[in-house]
């Protein structure tokens, strides 16, 4: 018995420190994980203050909250449900803070105004109008429709631009590979001929040597041009120059112009129909337009309307707006249905934008094929030209 007891004591004494060390290791591991989770949560909390919510996500959020309000749920419960199902951790924190603010007695509009990057000016103003009129669900449904139409048009334009951008990027990469890696091999082979090369071949060899020696200067120069252009565009004069150039651009200018007109009409109609005062509507339209031409027009309209004038009178004197739009707005003013006319104009320009995108897509594809054939084919022909004239070049007859 004594021996068994002694052995038990020895075993307990030997295993005691091991179990203690394991417990301490587990505690340390748990504390490290807790610290990491706390640091991650603090980073998300900080990021949520300036989180930029994509317009597509905002459209989905608006549609969902409008549907829940229509079903009869209180606003706080709607936000709680959306917070639970939102996968974006930053936006989940935003919804949590908005819900907590409303639970403390503040209005929905004042709560979302604290997150200007997540909820744009149009959303906040429409929420204010909905709270004032008592029809928040109905107005949010209209806003969701506006956001969805905007996202739909933007996706179509981006999808149309993806193909040419990808092809041009591929062409640039291919030309760089040919100039830096392929042409030097031909240049070394041609150097043994000891004869004058054709002008296109010599030009490509000189360009290849320049790029191999000064590639860093080319990259630095491109970055400097990009930086200077960005600084210039951030100034009022630079932004005006950029917008004027984009609207008058040879191929895409017409499309950009129609998109600006559609956004102007759709935003104006949505706000007016929701009961937002016209001067406040013009402020929001100006901020949401993204074009200095529309901003100038909104400023002129606000001054003219405040003096008792009509919107159509300013549009008639502004060359940015086409005659058809001016006549339709004037007809809407005479019948008291300006917002309805603006919606019809927006629908018309949406259809025009889709047709323009389809036409541009059909036009760009053959143009890019010709562009690739000329660039790549020209390089290949220039490099094989001495081989075609190999007898004359090797014999030194040129």
**Which has the higher per-residue pLDDT, 353 or 391?**
353
pLDDT band at 5 (very low <50, low <70, confident <90, very high): very low
pLDDT digits (tens, 9 = 90+) for 245-296: 999 888 788 888 999 999 899 889 888 888 888 888 898 888 888 889 999 9
Question: What do you get for the CA distance between the two ends of the chain, in Å?
Answer: 113
pLDDT digits (tens, 9 = 90+) for 25-65: 555 656 777 777 777 778 878 888 888 888 889 999 999 99
| Tokens, residue 275 | 């009961």
Mean per-residue pLDDT of the chain: 83
DSSP 234: T
pLDDT of residue 179: 85
**Which has the higher per-residue pLDDT, 237 or 397?**
237
Domain ranges of the chain: 55-119, 142-398
Instruction: Assess contact for 115 and 51: CB atoms under 8 A.
Output: yes
* Exposure string for 183-194, b = 16+ CB within 10 A, e = fewer: beebbeebeeee
Q: Please name which of 118, 117, 150 lies closest in space to residue 265, comparing C-alpha atoms.
A: 150
pLDDT digits (tens, 9 = 90+) for 181-210: 888 888 888 777 666 788 888 888 888 888
pLDDT of residue 8: 45
* Greatest extent of the chain over all pairs of C-alpha atoms, in Å: 114
Q: Is the pLDDT of residue 142 over 70?
A: yes
pLDDT of residue 390: 63
Distance CA 102, CA 234 (A): 37
Instruction: Assess contact for 82 and 65: CB atoms under 8 A.
Output: yes
Q: Is 251 exposed, middle or buried (0-12, 13-18, 19+ CB in 10 A)?
A: exposed
Distance CA 146, CA 58 (A): 11
pLDDT of residue 13: 47
Q: Please name which of 112, 114, 117, 94 lies closest in space to residue 45, comparing C-alpha atoms.
A: 94
| Tokens, residue 231 | 């600084």
pLDDT of residue 21: 57
DSSP 195: S
Q: What is the mean pLDDT of residues 359-382?
A: 84
pLDDT of residue 345: 92
Distance CA 398, CA 42 (A): 74
Q: Which of 39-48, 137-146, 188-197, 225-234 has the lowest mean pLDDT?
A: 188-197
Q: Please name which of 102, 231, 192 lies closest in space to residue 394, comparing C-alpha atoms.
A: 192
pLDDT of residue 303: 92
The reply to whether 142-398 shares the fold of 55-119 is yes
Q: Is the pLDDT of residue 225 over 90?
A: yes
Pick the CATH number of 142-398 from 1.20.81.30, 3.40.50.10260, 1.10.287.610, 2.130.10.10: 1.20.81.30
Q: What is the mean pLDDT of residues 322-340?
A: 89
CA angle at 167 for the pair 162 and 172, rounded to the nearest 5°? 125
pLDDT of residue 112: 92
What predicted TM-score, i.e. pTM, was given to this entire model? 0.75
* Percentage of the chain modeled with pLDDT above 70: 89
Distance CA 334, CA 342 (A): 14
Instruction: Assess contact for 80 and 96: CB atoms under 8 A.
Output: no
**Length of the chain (residues):** 398
**55-119 domain in CATH 1.20.81.30?**
yes
């Amino acid at each position: 018995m004594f021996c068994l007891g002694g052995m038990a004591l020895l075993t307990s004494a030997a295993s005691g420190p091991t179990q203690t060390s394991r417990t301490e290791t587990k505690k340390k591991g748990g504390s490290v994980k807790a610290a990491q989770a706390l640091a991650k949560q603090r980073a998300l909390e900080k990021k949520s203050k300036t989180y930029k919510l994509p317009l597509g996500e905002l459209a989905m959020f608006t549609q969902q909250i409008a549907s829940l309000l229509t079903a009869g749920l209180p606003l706080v419960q709607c936000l709680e449900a959306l917070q639970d199902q939102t996968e974006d951790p930053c936006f989940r924190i935003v919804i949590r803070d908005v819900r907590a603010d409303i639970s403390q007695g503040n209005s929905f509009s004042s709560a979302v105004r604290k997150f200007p990057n997540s909820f744009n000016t149009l959303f906040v103003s429409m929420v204010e109008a909905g709270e004032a009129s008592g029809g928040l669900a109905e107005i949010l449904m209209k806003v969701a429709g506006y956001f969805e139409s905007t996202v739909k048009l933007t996706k179509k334009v981006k999808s149309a631009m993806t193909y040419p951008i990808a092809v041009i990027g591929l062409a640039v990469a291919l030309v760089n590979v040919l100039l830096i890696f392929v042409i030097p091999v031909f240049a070394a082979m041609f150097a043994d001929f000891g004869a004058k090369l054709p002008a296109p071949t010599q030009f490509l060899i000189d360009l290849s040597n320049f790029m191999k020696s000064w590639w860093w200067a080319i990259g630095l120069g491109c970055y400097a041009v990009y930086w200077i252009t960005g600084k210039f565009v951030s100034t009022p004069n630079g932004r005006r120059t950029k917008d004027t150039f984009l609207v008058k651009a040879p191929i895409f200018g017409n499309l950009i112009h129609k998109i600006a007109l559609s956004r102007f009409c759709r935003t104006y109609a949505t706000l007016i129909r929701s009961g937002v005062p016209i001067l406040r509507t013009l402020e929001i339209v100006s901020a949401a337009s993204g074009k200095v031409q529309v901003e100038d027009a909104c400023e002129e309209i606000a001054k003219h309307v405040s003096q008792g004038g009509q919107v159509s009178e300013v549009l008639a004197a502004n060359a940015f707006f086409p005659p058809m739009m001016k006549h339709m707005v004037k007809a809407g003013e005479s019948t008291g249905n300006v917002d309805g006319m603006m919606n019809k104009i927006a629908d018309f320009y949406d259809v025009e934008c889709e047709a323009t995108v389809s036409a541009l897509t059909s036009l760009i594809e053959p143009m890019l094929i010709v562009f690739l054939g000329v660039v790549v084919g020209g390089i290949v022909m220039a490099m094989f030209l001495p081989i075609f004239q190999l007898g004359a070049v090797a014999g030194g007859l040129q």
